[in-house]
Amino acid sequence: MTIAAPRSTRTKPALIEAFTVPKGFGDQTLRDPRPDAIELLGGIPDPSVLPADALAEATRRVLSVPGLPSLQYSRTAGISPLREWIAEREGVPVERIIVTNGGFHGLSLAIQVVLERGDLVAVDNPIFPLFLRGLELADGRALPIPVGPHGIDLDALERTLEDGARPAALYTVPDFHNPTQGSLSAADRHRLVALAEAYDFVVFADNPYRELWYGDAPEPVDAFNLSEHVVHVNTFTKTLGPGLRLGWIVVPERFSADVVALRSRQDSHSSTFVQAVIGELVTSDAGLFDRTLDRARALYRTRAETLANALEASAPGAFEVTVPGGGLFLWPKLTDDSLDADALAAAASREGVEYQRGSFFPSGPGTDADRHLRLAYGHVDAAKLQEAAVRLARAVASLS
């Protein structure tokens, strides 16, 4: 008979023990907003540009299919026609697409399949902070790499690698970087992949905002999708709605069996129902997805410009604001170096504006992120954006 040493159930497994309590970003205890607060907190799509009627109609159709396949078990990697549609859009064989429960889930799978516990991972600095939370699944150690105006700084990365750092992976947001809003150039995409291949690390390219461009169309992703050293993570979260929990990864062949093996030990597969509805939505009317995106892009462009103009009008010279080429955030910088950014966030909260302070985003020292504000404008109408700017201006004035 097998005999094991007793273990008190009061001891947590090492997996769970590695989890830290959220600080700053994601920490609700910091906030006590006014009832009339305008929340510019999250990258939330506006309901007016989500295709609700088409979704209801697609649902009705999939629930009319004899035998109701949308309510039955399906294979772990995803179902037809959704998976094929994604593969065609990404320009890869369908075998390389694995459907996920949203972008963060794709990152989570990549972290668990690629990283040994304790591995070093090069990361954006500043960074989308929730990635660091996900990294705790592998008790990973972050190696911060500066992010410049055009995404992750590859000169800095190369120096770090030449100096001997050997990360197992690298995390970056290549299009409309969160929070800094830059995008990697076409050349830098190839250079990043070349570095990954030379130094044998895996790039986690996290791309939730890619489709929300309203300036120039973003650079191609071929460099990512053609490499065995990139897991390219995407999602319908920002385009069709976060509540669907539906996304995908483009995964190198060498990892795909492991991702499926892991996934089949977690929740088996993404909801067949949601996959069938979205598959029906995007394939029954070939232009619907792009028409939906066109409406969203126009709306977000207007909102970005409205908020940027309102900030300049309400608090002239207080912020250095760039209207980005896409995405859902402004990243204005305080021009007055003597202004206390934490005091500003508190004053703004008193005035009735909630946002993510820049100090929540560094993954290491050496950034000016704490001089910035991350303002989410996607789900806030023009009148409220203007009122938010007025309130922010009052908050700035109250500290001067």
Binding positions for a copy of itself, 113-152, rule CB under 8 A:
113-117, 119-120, 133-134, 136-138, 141, 143
Per-residue interface string for the shown chain with a copy of itself, residues 81-120, x marking contact by CB under 8 A = -------------------xxx-xx--x---xxxxxx-xx
Q: Could you say whether residue 397 binds a copy of itself (CB under 8 A)?
A: no
Please work out the total of residues on this chain that contact a copy of itself, with binding judged by CB under 8 A. 92
Q: In this complex, which beta carbon is closest to a copy of itself, that of residue 241 or of residue 358?
A: 241
Q: What is the DSSP string of 278-291?
A: HHHHHHHSTTHHHH
Per-residue interface string for the shown chain with a copy of itself, residues 356-375, x marking contact by CB under 8 A = --------------------
- Measured between alpha carbons, how far is 106 from 270 in angstroms, rounded to an integer? 12
Burial string for 308-343 (b: 16+ CB within 10 Å, else e) reads bebbeebbeebbebeebbbbbbbbbebeeeeeebee
- Measured between alpha carbons, how far is 349 from 74 in angstroms, rounded to an integer? 47
- Kindly tell me which residue out of 25, 37, 40, 70 binds a copy of itself, with binding defined by CB under 8 A: 70
Q: In this complex, which beta carbon is closest to a copy of itself, that of residue 247 or of residue 332?
A: 247
Candidate segments 210-218, 259-267, 328-336, 388-396, binder of a copy of itself by CB under 8 A: 259-267
E strand intervals along 110-229: 120-125, 141-148, 151-152, 169-172, 202-206
Coarse DSSP helix, strand, coil percentages of the chain, rounded to the nearest 5 percent: 45, 15, 40
- Kindly tell me which residue out of 96, 189, 269, 391 binds a copy of itself, with binding defined by CB under 8 A: 269
Q: Could you say whether residue 378 binds a copy of itself (CB under 8 A)?
A: no
Q: Could you say whether residue 29 binds a copy of itself (CB under 8 A)?
A: no
- Measured between alpha carbons, how far is 354 from 32 in angstroms, rounded to an integer? 9
- Measured between alpha carbons, how far is 346 from 365 in angstroms, rounded to an integer? 23
Q: In this complex, which beta carbon is closest to a copy of itself, that of residue 48 or of residue 335?
A: 48
Give the shortest CB-281-to-a copy of itself separation in angstroms.
12
> What is the DSSP-derived secondary structure letter of residue 369?
G
Q: Could you say whether residue 216 binds a copy of itself (CB under 8 A)?
A: no
- Kindly tell me which residue out of 273, 346, 350, 399 binds a copy of itself, with binding defined by CB under 8 A: 273
Q: How many CA atoms lie within 13 A of 230 on its CB side?
A: 24
Q: Could you say whether residue 198 binds a copy of itself (CB under 8 A)?
A: no
Q: Which residues, numbered 305-344, are part of the site for a copy of itself (CB under 8 A)?
A: none
Candidate segments 10-18, 32-40, 85-93, 283-291, binder of a copy of itself by CB under 8 A: 10-18
Which of 367, 336, 377 is closest to 129 using CA atoms? 367
Candidate segments 32-40, 166-174, 207-215, 302-310, binder of a copy of itself by CB under 8 A: 166-174
Neighbours of 25 (CB within 10 A): 20
Neighbours of 192 (CB within 10 A): 26
Give yes or no for a cis peptide into 242 (omega within 30° of 0): no
Q: In this complex, which beta carbon is closest to a copy of itself, that of residue 182 or of residue 279?
A: 279
